[in-house]
Amino acid sequence: MRLVAPRPRELMLSSHLNTLQVLRGTTSCLLVMPMLPPAITSSRFSPPGTLPEASSPLSLTSATTTEPEAVALASAPAAPDTKTADTVANLATSANPKIASLASLGLTAGLNIPHHVAIIMDGNGRWAQRRGFIRLMGHRQGAKAVTRTVEAAAELGVGVLTLFAFSSENWRRPDDEVSGLMELFAKVLKKERERLHKNNIKVSFIGDTSRFSAKLRKAISLYDELHYEQVAMRLNIAINYGGRWDITQAARTLAKQVKAGTLEPEDITEERMREALSTPYDVDLLIRTGGEYRISNFLLYQCAYSEMVVTDTLWPDFGQEDLLKAFASFNKRERRFGRTSAQVQSGSTT
């Protein structure tokens, strides 16, 4: 498989789209870490309360986020973190037929792209059972959807993408299914690490990893050792994750600081709490596949002001068109954050 090294500051769209085809068709793992183009315009990864700098998702310039990155978080929700994408309509003229076909759906013109998108990837088991397959086959097919979705998110200018890969409640599933998932997960992490690094996709794992095997913990730790001078997109993989666990561990962290005398109780604010969470970014859009209307203990704190889209599409069938439909629905929402509609339309922040 050809490796894609960082490219010069400007890339042709045709080259960009061809690069995105490299890993299509991979089916041998639960969660394929996709190979992505290195020079997608980076979002500013703005914290809640600030707007990222507007730019076209097709302006394929070098990313500007540096490590270590200072996270200055606002203490109250404000304007949504979206990325203006007025030129997304240019995708309709793309040589990629899947992108070009979106024009007929009216999904591309003037679309604002959510900064932080989180997805509950539900329906792998049902997809397999409806076809007479074992459940693990559904997870393998779900890997294709992961590749398609990460490609599309990066291509459209999403700043942070968080995928719910394995919940803290999923340990209750049959032992053979869980062991199969863990084995597949360890293999793909080892295989894809260098490619993701070369393409400036910063992968983080959120959740309690202490329960995993030494082999899987080692594969995860190798990602933590990577250094990035620039970041094209942040990809959070939630494994053995639960929203209640996240809030609990954040509270425990702050309690230890109080006990040590480095933090006063009255200094515990929403900003401090957010900084102690596994990911500090408020979710703009939460997508759930498979038709279930529940949040399933996912990013409970971060989703306080998120918009939610539920689709009946099972995860293995999810693709770029489904993602664009979710973005179109997001664009129809009026995000008021406690204000009135009149205040929002007038641009008032009070």
Average confidence (pLDDT) per 10 residues, the chain, 350 residues: 38 34 35 38 36 30 34 36 42 47 56 94 96 92 84 86 93 89 81 76 91 90 87 92 97 97 96 96 97 96 96 96 94 87 80
The predicted structure's pLDDT at residue 109: 58
Question: Is 7 part of any domain?
Answer: no
Considering the domain boundaries, does residue 211 fall inside one? yes
pLDDT on residue 250: 97
* Cα–Cα distance for residue pair 125/133, rounded to 1 Å: 9
208 is an active site residue: no
Tell me the residue range of the domain where 241 lies.
13-337
Q: Are residues 204 and 236 in contact, defined by beta-carbon separation less than 8 angstroms? A: yes
269 found inside a domain: yes
Please check whether residue 307 lies inside any domain of the structure.
yes
Provide the pLDDT for residue 107: 55
- Residue 58 covered by a domain: yes
Q: How far apart are CA 217 and CA 43, in angstroms?
A: 30
Q: Which is the catalytic residue, given 18, 86, 90, 170?
A: 170
Catalytic-labelled residue, pool 81, 96, 112, 122: 122
Answer whether residue 342 is part of any domain.
no
Strands (E) across the chain are located at: 82-85, 111-114, 116-120, 160-167, 201-206, 233-241, 285-288, 307-310
68 within domain boundaries = yes
DSSP assignment of 23-70 equals TTT--SSSS------TTPPPP--PPTT--PPP--TT--PPP-B-SS--
Residue 8 lies in a domain: no
Give the model's pLDDT for residue 38: 36
- Other CB atoms within 10 A of residue 343 CB: 14
Number of domains in the chain: 1
- Contacts of 74-78 with CB under 8 Å at 24 or more apart are 74/47, 74/48, 74/49, 74/50, 74/271, 75/269, 75/270, 75/271, 76/49, 76/270, 77/48, 77/49, 77/282, 77/304, 77/305, 77/337, 77/338, 78/48, 78/49, 78/50, 78/337, 78/349
Q: Check which CATH number belongs to the domain holding 331 and give it.
A: 3.40.1180.10
